Every structure is written in structure tokens, then in C-alpha cells.
Structure 1
Amino acid sequence: MIVQTTAFAAARSRAHGPTAALWHAVELHRHPSEVDGACELTLCGSLARVSTDETWPVAARDVCPACLTLAR
């Protein structure tokens, strides 16, 4: 039996106009060291810079609600 788990990394988006910067989830398909600092597509469809210093889910108030739901 194969058990597959999905790993997520935390990524920080940039503020654009009236939109605040948020923490997002990125599904990892590579080793975390290969994506640290890179912009990746998040679960909700935004582009955000991956930070391996933070773990997902991030213990912050400014977290993307769509990513929270999709990462469950």
C-alpha cells in the first residue's frame, strides 16, 4: 500500500494596490531547498515568494483564507 502525503510551504505575496500582503500555501513537488526564495504559484492561484523559514500553516492573522481551506 502506498501512502502519499502532500507537503506545503509558506509563501508571502506582495501587496498590490489595496490588496494586503498575505501568507499563502504552496504545494511542494521539489525539495524545499530548491524553492526557497523563488516565486511559485500558490494553491489559490496567486504568485508568492516561498519562505522555508516559515512552516505551513503560518501562525499569523494575515493568511489567505482560500489557501487555508485548500490546504486541508
Structure 2
Amino acid sequence: MEIKLEEVIPSEDIEGATIIWEYNGTHENGNLFGVESSGKKVTVRGMTFLKCENGKVIEEKGIVDNLSLLMQLGALG
């Protein structure tokens, strides 16, 4: 899997940042969301929100486009 950082947006309100990212990989190792390894290449986008204090991450929240991943794996319909 390869992860590409597309944008890092520093927070104006708190010490922290929003990171927009994309990962590319191949579904090779085991069952993922009920789909057996397929060898399919997938691309998934998401965002991670980091809250920091004294230069250290103290909280992390994220959003991942799992619907897109399920569609690429053929798990829907």
C-alpha cells in the first residue's frame, strides 16, 4: 500500500491540522468486508483530523471513503 498526502491544512482555532490523503494498494491478504482476496487494485481517499498539544498528537479522528472501497472490491450489487 502507498499513502499519498494530498494536502495538510493547519488549524486556525487549535494546535492541529487536517490531512487529506489517498492510498493505493492491492487487495491481497485475506477477507476485507466479506470479500476474499481478489488481487484488485484499489484507491481510497480520506481525511484525518489531528489535535495537538505541546507538539504531540493527543487526538485523531478520521473519515475514510469505505463505500468507494466496497464498490471497487465488487462487494455491492
Which of the two has higher C-alpha Rg? 2
The TM-score normalised by the length of structure 1 is: 0.28
Larger RCO, structures 1/2 (Cα 8 Å, 6+ apart): 1
Higher strand share: 2
The TM-score normalised by the length of structure 2 is: 0.27
